[in-house]
Amino acid sequence: MSLLAVAGANSASGAYDIDNSLKFESNNSEKLYYTLSGNGDLQQMSFSCWVKRTELGSEQAIFTGRLGASGEFGRLIFSPSDTIQFWMRDSGNITLVQLYTNRVFRDTSAWYHIVFGIDTTQSTAADRVNLYINGVKETSFSSETYPTLNANLNGGFNRSTFNHVLGVEEANNTYFNGYIAEAHFVDGQQLAASDFGDFDSATGIWKPKAYTGSYGTKGFYLDFESSGSLGADSSGNGNNFTLNNITSADQATDTPTNNFCTLNPLCNIYGSWTYTQGATDGYAGVADSLTEGTIGFTSGKWYYEIVCPSESGNPSANMMMGFGRPNLWSSSGDTYNFAYNRTGVVFYNGTTTGGYSGWVKDDVVMLAIDADNGFAYFGVNGTWGLSADPTSGATGTGGFNYDSLVTNMSIGDLLIPTLKLGNAGNIFEVNFGGFTGFPIASGNTDENGYGNFEYAPPSGYYALCTKNLAEYG
């Protein structure tokens, strides 16, 4: 069972798969850009992309067109209040287009599909600019301005010498935090969301489909499939993007057709966390702060990894990772969860059990949970503690029997990855398989070919992603 909200896109059955996305991190000033040579069509154009947010409450640009700090621009952004704003303005500071949604978009567990389509030759003003979110045309705006009939939009997009940028508005340094996939820009056509996606007939979930149309002269398509050439334009136009502070390590397998667990910016217990690196790194200024993952399960066998590159010496002994019932981590002590700490001790029900492997700074800590049999396993750097055998099933060799030991936790409960910081300033780097900030030297997938792990998941254990959840969770 997934905890993904209905507002966002989920992995759904279908023939079209997206293999890769690109992670964006504001702290690293990550962006891609290309500069147009000659104008494109200034009356008709469209843009489509999928985004997964990992930080909220600040202005973050998705796609912009601008010449330096010029007042002439086009911008598609998340506002500080988490609405979506689409705005085009000319060099005379005249607003050409302005659509500010009333809806807010704060689901950090799922993917959003965003499309704008422009055609100033449409007779009805409201048809000249369309904005779609997850296949649905937005009609409720706090601010609403449409271009005049047959206007040439000198407002940043499709303009000669203007930078077209993914991941920031350069004049304001409002960087995006999260993941972007399937970025299409089409020169010379007003397209709808249905050109890039459709509703799954079985689930009703909006899902991607292959775009089969043309791109015009100035259009582009970024699929991020080549880790060595992440700015490559796959439209056939050769409108390749220049990378800024982006490397092959920023390619992710977290996509709209296979959504991976990340840390949840909406969960901040006992202290406000800061999340970076696609919400796979987390730290807080308050000791003993808690957080959770974005995806839970009721059955199946699951695996994830953690590294703690502490800012000051070894991580605190109170740094813990484990599993718990969602939103109950801090309730009634630890009767809703269990957690493995740096000294090799598991905490539960106000007591402990020891003998597991301890770990230090930069070790890779391994966690595996068998939700079908009620056992969890802990290891370090490729070796399972207590000579455990995660494949032992009902025997639970070397495992922690949470089904019998944790008071309010049983087989069949909805569980979720849970983390607790020790000292303020300690850092978690988590790897659920879709992306991680710590370097992967070996590269291992689960048996379904999903994830990218330092150590191979035990046989029968899987990465926490929607394709695996649909089969096992």
Reported as a single tens digit per residue, the pLDDT across 161-212 is 999 999 999 999 999 999 999 999 999 999 999 999 999 999 999 999 999 9
Query: In what helix (H) or strand (E) does residue 403 lie, and over which residues does it extend?
Result: helix 402-405
419 contacts 431 by C-beta, under 8 angstroms: no
Q: Encode pLDDT of 326-372 as tens digits.
A: 877 665 567 899 999 999 999 999 899 999 989 989 999 999 999 99
Q: Please enumerate in sequence order all residues whose Cβ is within 8 A of that of 139, keeping only pairs 6 or more positions apart, or say none.
A: none
Same domain, 277 and 245: no
Q: How many domains does the chain have?
A: 2
Residue 257 lies in a domain: no
- pLDDT attached to residue 3: 38
Among 309, 277, 258, which residue's Cα sits nearest to residue 463? 258
Residue 3 lies in a domain: no
Q: Which of 75, 82, 80 has its CA nearest to residue 96?
A: 75
Do 135 and 279 reside in the same domain of the chain? no
Residue 258 lies in a domain: no
- Predicted local confidence at residue 310, as pLDDT: 72
In the predicted structure, residue 386 carries a pLDDT above the cut 50: yes
Question: Does the pLDDT of residue 9 top 80, yes or no?
Answer: no
Last residue of a domain, one of 252, 281, 315: 252
Is residue 8 one of the residues assigned to a domain? no
Phi-psi region of 234 (alpha: psi -120 to 50; beta: other; left: phi over 0): alpha
The pLDDT tens digits of the residues spanning 431-462 come to 999 999 999 999 999 999 999 999 999 999 99
Same domain flag for 277 and 240? no
Give the pLDDT of residue 14.
Answer: 54
Q: Are residues 31 and 122 in the same domain?
A: yes
For the whole model, what pTM was predicted?
A: 0.95
Q: Are 181 and 212 found together in one domain?
A: yes
Looking at the structure, do residues 321 and 237 belong to the same domain, yes or no? no
Asked whether residue 10 is assigned to any structural domain, the reply reads no
CATH code where residue 281 lies: 2.60.120.920
Residues 354 and 221 in one domain: no
Residue 71: what pLDDT? Answer: 84
423 and 332 within one domain: yes
The whole domain housing 242 covers: 21-252
201, 337: one domain: no
What own/partner pairs with CB < 8 Å and gap ≥ 24 does 100-103 have?
Answer: 100/141, 100/142, 100/143, 100/144, 101/131, 101/133, 101/138, 101/140, 101/141, 101/142, 102/140, 102/141, 102/142, 103/133, 103/138, 103/140
Digit-coded pLDDT (tens) for 200-253: 999 999 999 999 999 999 999 999 999 999 999 999 999 999 999 999 999 999
**7 lies in some domain:** no
In a domain, 52, yes or no: yes
241 within 8 A of 167, measured Cβ to Cβ? no
Residue 405 and residue 294 in one domain: yes
pLDDT-wise least confident of 265-279, 294-308, 423-437, 450-464: 265-279
Residue 368 structure tokens: 């595996």
Query: For the domain that residue 113 is a member of, what is the CATH number?
Result: 2.60.120.200
| pLDDT tens string 52-97 | 999 999 999 999 999 877 789 999 999 999 999 999 999 888 999 9
Measured CA to CA, the distance from residue 369 to residue 405 in angstroms comes to 15
* Whether 200 and 340 share a structural domain: no
Asked whether residue 84 is assigned to any structural domain, the reply reads yes
**pLDDT higher than threshold 50 for residue 111:** yes
Distance CA 443, CA 436 (A): 12
